[in-house]
């Protein structure tokens, strides 16, 4: 398969008018540019450029290839931009599971700001004290207290969260021996 980098090199040579100018434009040596043009011609089985020490010209095949080359490079850039755009904006549904206590204390307050930042993202919050099967229940994030149960999951400590037993003096007096 022909490399798109060689398409880009060919385009640069045509637009710059010389191998040396294209090399400067691409930040490569003249030898590398020349090698890539020769390699491209060999892979295609056709001469794209006629060149001598003073002049460089497109062949008929080179003229046709140049037009296709422009389309291919533009299409490749659009594909790259499209793929990257999927990672710049959060879209779809984010499913989160956590305990009731942690949801009330930490997650719910943070979700308001998070939703303001990511309006195209729908958040589904599920609260339970039992550990969910993240795969079968299709959770993206599990926020849990304690140690990681399944070592196949990636875990990061986000914060510390203390649960303290508390009771009123009257309750303690009523159950004390």
Give the pLDDT confidence score for residue 1 in this predicted structure.
79
- Four-residue CA torsion sign, 73, 74, 75, 79: positive
Distances (CA, A) of 81 to 74, 77, 78, 87, 151: 10, 6, 5, 10, 35
Residue 151: exposure state from Cβ atoms within 10 A (0-12, 13-18, ≥19) = exposed
Q: How many CB atoms lie within 10 A of CB 122?
A: 13
How much is the average pLDDT of 96-114? 90
Q: Which residues contact 47 (CB under 8 A, 6 or more apart)?
A: 41, 59, 61, 62
Tell me which range, 14-23, 90-99, 110-119, is most confidently predicted by mean pLDDT: 14-23
Looking only at the bridges linking them, the beta strands covering 92-98 and 141-143 are parallel
Position 87 scores a pLDDT of 67
Dump pLDDT digits (tens) for 27-59.
Answer: 999 999 999 999 999 999 999 999 877 789 999
- Phi and psi (nearest 5°) for 162? -100, 135
Could you give all domains of the chain from N- to C-terminal order, each with its CATH number? 4-85 (1.10.10.10), 92-148 (3.40.190.10)
pLDDT at 136 over 90: no
């Amino acid at each position: 398969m022909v490399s798109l980098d060689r398409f880009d090199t060919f385009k640069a040579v045509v637009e710059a008018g010389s191998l040396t100018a294209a090399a400067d434009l691409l930040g490569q040596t003249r030898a590398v540019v020349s090698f890539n043009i020769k390699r491209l011609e060999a892979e295609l089985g056709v001469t794209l450029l006629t060149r001598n020490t003073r002049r460089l010209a497109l062949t008929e095949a080179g003229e046709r290839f140049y037009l296709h080359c422009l389309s291919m490079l533009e299409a490749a850039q659009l594909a790259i931009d499209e793929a990257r755009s999927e990672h710049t904006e959060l879209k779809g549904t984010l499913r989160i599971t956590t305990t009731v206590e942690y949801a009330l204390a930490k997650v719910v307050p943070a979700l308001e700001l998070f939703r303001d930042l990511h309006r195209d993202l729908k958040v589904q919050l599920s609260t339970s004290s039992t550990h969910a099967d993240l795969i079968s229940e299709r959770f993206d994030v599990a926020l849990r207290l304690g140690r990681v149960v399944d070592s196949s999951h990636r875990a990061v400590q986000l914060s510390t969260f203390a649960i303290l037993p508390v009771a009123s003096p009257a309750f303690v007096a009523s159950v004390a021996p």
